[in-house]
Amino acid sequence: MLENIAFLQSDFFTGYIQPVLVITGYVLLLVVPLILAMAYLTYAERKVLAAMQLRQGPMMVGPFGLLQPLADGLKLLGKETIIPSGANRVIFVIAPMLTFMLALVAWAVIPVNAGWVLADINVGVLYLFAISSLGVYGILMAGWASNSRYAFLGGLRSAAQMVSYEVSIGLVLVCVLLTTGSLNLTDIVMAERDWWVDLLLFPMFIVFVISALAETNRAPFDLPEGESELVGGYNVEYSSMTFALFFLGEYMNMILMSGMTAVLFLGGWLPPFGIEALAVVPGVIWFILKVCFVLFVFLWARATLPRYRYDQLMRLGWKVFLPLTLIWVVIMAGVLVYAEALPNMAGG
Amino acid sequence: MVTAGKRNWLPISKPTRPTGKERQQTMIESLFFYVLSGVLVLSALMVISAQNPVHAVLFLILAFFNAAGLFVLLGAEFLAMILVIVYVGAVAVLFLFVVMMLDINFAELRRGMGRYLPLSGLVGTVMLVEFFWIFSKWTSDTAAVAPHMRHAPLEVSNTHALGQVLYTHYAYIFQLSGLILLVAMIGAITLTLRHRPNVRRQEVSRQVDRHPKDVLRVEKINSGEGVS
């Protein structure tokens, strides 16, 4: 007993073990709700699509089919993991893990409420941008390692698509940074903007949401998996949990992109339109509601829009969004300098 | 969730003897340093020794990552993120893209190994010896370099510091490097752009301009006569 107390007071414990345990606790507090949200996003997607198509959606498992995600998860767990004999085994197995991991890791810097952030780093936006640009590797590796034509074509399509739309996402981020003067996500949420600056940012918000659809390979830009031509794309050869990791990684990326949209454009945890009276509702609730709204737009787009053709997708990325965002950066910078509305840069 | 304030990633400096918690910190930092640089060196070795070029590119990506980690340890978080965004997020994707599409005969690659080994070994050894020779003798004359150097403003984060120095004191050099990149980009485009005359393209403006009355003709057909 005495030894235990001595251990608790030792340098090593207070300096290293204790912080690690605390941080692990915080990570779990963030990751467990996220995984639940991801499971129920699959449910929400089926329900929303069903409602828009005058169907009922999942109804059988549990009340209103609420236990359907769990049943699906169990089903996938119970299946056999098949690794094709011609596949490059190591890369084949690493690819889905990488996809899933990257989607989770990015949440480290997203503030869900005032001060509720795992790592409040100075370059939060750049970190998010870096992590979201890595998502392409999981898909590219899966496509190549499967040693299958369909999977490979899906991987290549996805790589070209994600690289193209990242350019416009980067320029949209520059526009946001011009109005906030900080790369820290908490500062970006707290930045006070005039109404006309918000108005100037609005077109960039639209561009960002559309690019987010393309970046997460969602309809109407879901060409990497275009089932009518590629029978499922980069993940044809995957089964069981390896498939589930891709599937869930895609949904996690959707939640991540919605979180980014909420933080960058919708004011994060702050009540909407700056209405003070609504501040009684806790910030987390506002954050979750905003994320849900953007997610609903994702699902809505899937139910409404037909899939783009590949050349149209590339045209939209390179010939419409790239010039538009590039010009908008110049316009915004010019207007902000002219109106002397640039945020105070000396503040750090 | 951690309510700690913004972290200032200042470079690690040891003005006095570290005590207690500080020593713990430096120990963990040096542990991270050795892990990161160890993996960096190993993956760099794998880049040149891997048989499969796709594996080589993936090891290159791992090397970039560890280099970014080393930058973070140095307190240069902006450089770390830019390294990941530019090299891992863009350049290496294109590498991988190209390498994956190459049709490679692995057996033939292995056969070439023995033939090129003496020559490449010689070139490598000469370069290594020269590097050792240069860097063992190399010192910088502080007085001569001083007019070209700028102190980083320490009270702001290093992103601000870089911006303040880059766009004021080094503005011309910065613009020049931008111009070089522009020239390289135009060069790459002119080298690869081919005009193929008989390709059907979608022209959105033409499609939008099309009007029913330009392309549709309503015929009144009497029964038993047909269209003339």
State residue B117's pLDDT score: 83
Task: Write out B164-203 in H/E/C secondary structure.
Answer: HHHCCCCHHHHHHHHHHHHHHHHHHHHHHCCCCCCCCCCC
Of A16, A116, A123, Cβ closest to residue B77: A123
Position A293: which residue type? F
Q: Do B6 and A129 touch (CB under 8 A)?
A: no
Residue A166 with chain B: CB contacts under 8 Å: 89-90
| pLDDT at site B107 | 62
Helices (H), chain A: 2-9, 11-12, 18-52, 68-78, 89-105, 124-145, 149-180, 185-190, 195-215, 227-230, 240-264, 283-304, 310-315, 322-338
Nearest residue to A86 (alpha-carbon basis) of A149, A137, A140, A136: A149
The tokens describing A327, both together, are 């010009």
User: Coil, strand, or helix at residue B152?
Assistant: coil
Cβ neighbors of B192 (< 8 A, separation 6 or more) are none
Chain B residues whose CB is inside 8 A of the A155 CB are: 100
Question: B16-66, pLDDT tens digit by residue?
Answer: 555 555 666 677 788 889 999 999 999 999 988 887 888 888 999 999 999
Residues whose CB is less than 8 angstroms from the CB of residue B14 and which lie 6 or more positions away in sequence, other chains included: B26
**What per-residue confidence (pLDDT) applies to B15?**
46
pLDDT at residue B154 above 80?
Answer: no
What distance in Å separates the CA atoms of residue A233 and residue A223, rounded to the nearest whole number? Answer: 8
pLDDT, average across residues B109-124:
80
Look at residue A6 in the predicted model and tell me its pLDDT.
60
Burial of A260 (0-12, 13-18, 19+ CB in 10 A): buried
Whether B113 has a pLDDT exceeding 80, the answer reads no
Measured distance CA(A314)–CA(B35) in Å, rounded: 41
Contact residues on chain B for A164, CB-CB shorter than 8 A = none
Q: Are B147 and B169 in contact (CB under 8 A)?
A: no
Is A2 exposed, middle or buried (CB count within 10 Å of its CB: 0-12, 13-18, 19+)?
exposed
Nearest CA in chain A to B96: A140
d(CA A91, CA A84): 12
Q: What's residue A345's pLDDT?
A: 53
d(CA A161, CA A342): 34
Q: Give the closest residue to A166 by CA, choosing from A281, A271, A321, A60.
A: A321
Task: Give residue-wise pLDDT tens across range A232-287.
Answer: 778 888 888 888 888 888 899 999 999 999 988 888 888 877 777 777 778 888 88
Of B1, B157, B158, the CB nearest to A116: B1
- Interface probe, candidates B71, B81, B167, chain A, greatest A C-beta count within 10 A: B81
State both tokens at A269: 């945890």
User: Amino acid letter at A268?
Assistant: G
Q: Tell me if A88 sits within 8 A of A144, measured CB to CB.
A: yes
| B14 confidence band (pLDDT: 50, 70, 90) | very low
Query: Which residues make Cβ contacts (< 8 Å) with residue B73, sequence separation at least 6?
Result: B12, B29, B32, B33, B36
Whole-number Å distance between alpha carbons of B172 and B174: 5
How far from A348 is each of A345, B76, B154, CA to CA, in Å?
6, 15, 11
pLDDT at B100 over 70: yes
What's the CA gap between B26 and A43, in Å, rounded? 48
Please tell me the predicted confidence (pLDDT) of residue A7. 57
Those residues of chain A that have pLDDT short of 50 are 346-348
> Distance between CA A327 and CA A324 in Å, rounded?
5
Token pair of A209, please? 């949401």
Taking CB atoms and an 8 Å limit, are B160 and A348 in contact across chains?
yes
